[in-house]
Structure 1
Amino acid sequence: MHALRAAAAGRTASPSTARLINDRIALQLLQSEGPLTAGQLTSLTGLSRPTVADLVDRLQAAGLIAVVGESGARRRGPNAKLYGIVADRAHLVGLDLRAHSVTVAVADLLGRVRAERTVPIGPDDPPGRAVATALAALDAALGAAGAGRPQAIAVGAPGLVDPATGRFGGTDWIPAWHAALVGALQDRTAAPVLLENEVNLAALAEQRDGAATDRDTFVLLWLGHGTGAAVVLDGRLRRGASGGTGEIGFLPVPGTDGLPTAGGCDGGFHSLAGSAAICALAAAHGLRPGPPAPGAAPDADAGADTDADAPPAESVVRAAVAAGGGGDAFLDALAARIALGVAAVCAVLDPGCVVLGGEIGRSGGDALATRVAGHLARISPLATEVRAGTVGGRAVLHGAVLAATDAAQNELFAPAR
């Protein structure tokens, strides 16, 4: 809070800049703390009562805040009014693109999801039809939420996203309709359309609301149909020169039959920890897939494997955990494989914490994370905590909503001078 007070003082800023800073701080407090009185804003920001009264008037005039009730104070007056952000002042959109489906979520200005739609995309659908299907789902979700033009749109998709251009990089395995849909979204709205690698968005979700809320530096290891990773250092997501940070599926590791190539990750870590490899390992241990988890939603397709009919590794891992001692040998063998990739990442980055996400990380939970930590301690001298992801199977969509919320608030929470 000392940093907020120092920023709010604005001693070296021009009057207009100081007003912008003060307004933004007040809005951030209203978002994080919920409705507050003018007196509480005065106390939390360190600003004077007249300054707070002015900013409250400005934010009300801009339609960003409104009186939402009264405090429990006995004395009635202006300071007893509770002010809150007008959540319906704007709406935003998060999209999770997969090989054969798209999920759309429409949220309010506080990031609360108001409507959601998921539609399948046929494997033989031409790009134009796939785009039309996705846009129809978006329109249906906007209508269900009672929303008009979105303030911001964030899209999570597999593959490389060039940090310089915000467009897809050279990933030949990405469905053509993904890029076509992003272009269509940009053409139909003046709102910013943010494209981000899906695993990076999952890391954002774990950082804000999941297993890494107490960590400024960590790596999310995505274990789904394919493999991937997201790197957060000193609180910042690191994408790399070409957007390729975390393409761990291409990492050469012992235990495979060859080496990956520029055109495919077979022979890399993907061949040890991808879905097909996990199912083969399970079969060697006499394990078969169990039934789908009640209400389970499939994770996004990370890495190069975008086949929606990939072997059901999630249910195999879940069955092994449920089997108790009967699944121990398989889980230990899988953990040893995963630890190879984790050790390589730690040797370069030393993140101190690795979160196991994706469908495999979620299904394995603490039982798998504990085993990975044990193997890692034997092959790496670096102290590294291994945690199971907690956001769940909708991590990519949740991260997309968070990214869109940030973009919308950045635009709206800076009232005009």
Structure 2
Amino acid sequence: MHLGKHGSMEWLPGKNAALSASCGTDAAIGNLPLIYPFLVNDPGEGAQAKRRAHATIVDHLIPPMARAESYGDIAKLEQLLDEYANIAAMDPGKLPAIRSQIWTHMRAAEMHRDLGLDDIPDEDDFDDFIFNVDGWLCEIKDAQIRDGLHVLGQAPQGEARVNLVLSILRASQIWGGETGAVPGLRAALGLKDSAQLGAIDEIEEQSRALIQAMEDANWDVATARSLTDVPDVVRVLEFAATEVVPRLARTTDELDHVLHALEGGFIPAGPSGSPLRGLVNVLPTGRNFYTVDPKAVPSRLAWETGRAMADSLIERHLADTGEYPRSVGLSVWGTSAMRTSGDDIAEVLALIGVEPEWDEASRRVNGLRVIPLEELGRPRIDVTVRISGFFRDAFPHVIGILDATRSARSPS
């Protein structure tokens, strides 16, 4: 039995499939059964263990998660920004002093390097600088970080469950085959993507208060309507009470199923992916996970995400250079393609100006549409794609799609 993920045996030299005695993996394990408790959000490496080491996966939950919050130098800088806003409104004569304090603090903590600055911004540009620092602090403070280790077969309880449910509910949920079927809790409370640090902190406090109240009520569904009269918020809380928390409670299946597998029993199959990306259906853990359908990559959701990534890349290049990029190089990995259903592949296609077409029944990609230049509104961009060996083995259909885009031309 191997534990965790990314063991060494499944990566030993030899063929990518149908291994023989001359392959390192087959020589190491032979005909021995391999029971492999494996992290549920890493389908790519789990698929490698299945293909090259005939592993039976028993997936397990992600580690406890928490919001990073601010501390140390970051907390001090946040206080200085608050002080700057107050002085700008009440006593502008002190602004030079507080500007100097902010810059001195950032230099001492080497924070200026993260923003690509060597010298203090001019007085006329300092407000824009503060705006950028505020956004940077927001990203750091609001990041989700690991808050310990997951214990196999142990369901999260108390504060750990509150933190994990909060993390899961940040994203809109893919449910019943519908993307965005249940909104994210923050979005339901009115948080906008462009919100500043203060607004995010306020919404986070509201979110935590609601989840803590549901936890105190032992996740009674009826409690949701007594906490708020906002329909979308009620829907999110009811979804958490009826789907998320009961599925987390079944984390105990992990250890039971490991023991059952060691007795030669059947392990039920289930989907894989990150529950933090709106994929609550990957819970409960303790199942023999499968990955995406390779011919359904990129998915419709991945296309929307990849197109947004491409637009963002182009906008940044335009802002920095005043020109469209002539060419872009991207690395594509099999594990990330499985985890996201092809965000990076969709970005490649969007940069070139080619849109996938899907079969409605199977959701598989069955063709490509060359987007006319008039509709695209910009030049097509050359993309050089570096793929991993695992991607080559797992997604031959996608390599065919990428190859087909080489001859993409604007229709006459």
TM-score band, normalised by the shorter chain? under 0.3
Greater CA radius of gyration, 1 or 2? 2
- Larger fraction in helix: 2
Instruction: Tell me the TM-score normalized by structure 2.
Output: 0.25
Instruction: Tell me the TM-score normalized by structure 1.
Output: 0.25
